[in-house]
Structure 1
């Protein structure tokens, strides 16, 4: 196919403007992906430079779909869970505990674990959930 303009015949297509558009789109994409950091800007307090000697380690209680209870990565019974958490609580009074239960686990298992945490008066408790993707 030939197009005649000003008595000249053009047999090829000039791709330079198309490449310019592609480069602009690439730059816009890069800027948009790096600029979409979500959150609220806050002025964070400064911590001391000395390391903390008694940093409490968070204990994770996991419940699998078959009802097995794990303390960190070790399987335990409800009685063992209570005994071990009591030992950790005696060593670290403000012991943080996180409960992770599978979505298909029986609700009663979660309640039993939460009852143990309540009996031991552990106030720093977190329930792990998965972020809902829209």
Structure 2
């Protein structure tokens, strides 16, 4: 029996594993760049060194579990809310609107209030949040 000790050079290189790695890196790159683009733009308040002495009116709009709306504890419809916000803006152009949705409130009710406030052009808007269980 004769053993062939002569080593032959390979005629070609198998590039399949290298292409697999390149495709995986390409997919990861695409996912990471698109994930960074999506999101919600928010203007966060900037802290100041001196406290503000201005007092402005605040309207707290609450969306109940039943879908009903309350403004500072008084039940209103969406049309009545618009009238109240318009009257408050006439009294104080820098008044604030705080929106609080109950935990089981329909999401559509909160969106309707946010859309109304945006359509009216009210600048000082906030969302009231609370800890779970409170």
Task: Tell me which interval the TM-score lies in, with the shorter structure as reference length.
Answer: 0.5 to 0.7
Runs of 4+ in 1 over 2 A off after TM superposition: 44-48
TM-score of the pair, normalised by structure 1:
0.58
2:100: which partner in 1?
Answer: 100
5+ long unaligned stretches in structure 2: 1-47
Cα deviation code 1:41-89 (max 9, x no counterpart): xxx74559xx75xx21211001111111001111000000001101101
TM-score of the pair, normalised by structure 2:
0.58
2:111: which partner in 1?
Answer: 111
Per the alignment, do residues 104 and 94 of structure 1 end up closer, same or farther by CA in structure 2, a change over 3 Å counting? same
What is the rounded CA distance, in whole Å, between the counterparts of 2:103 and 2:77 in structure 1? 20
> Aligned pair count?
87
Local SS of the residue matching 2:70:
strand
Q: Is 1:124 matched up with 2:124?
A: yes
Aligned Cα root-mean-square deviation (Å): 2.3
How far the C-alpha of 1:103 sits from its partner, in A, is 1.5
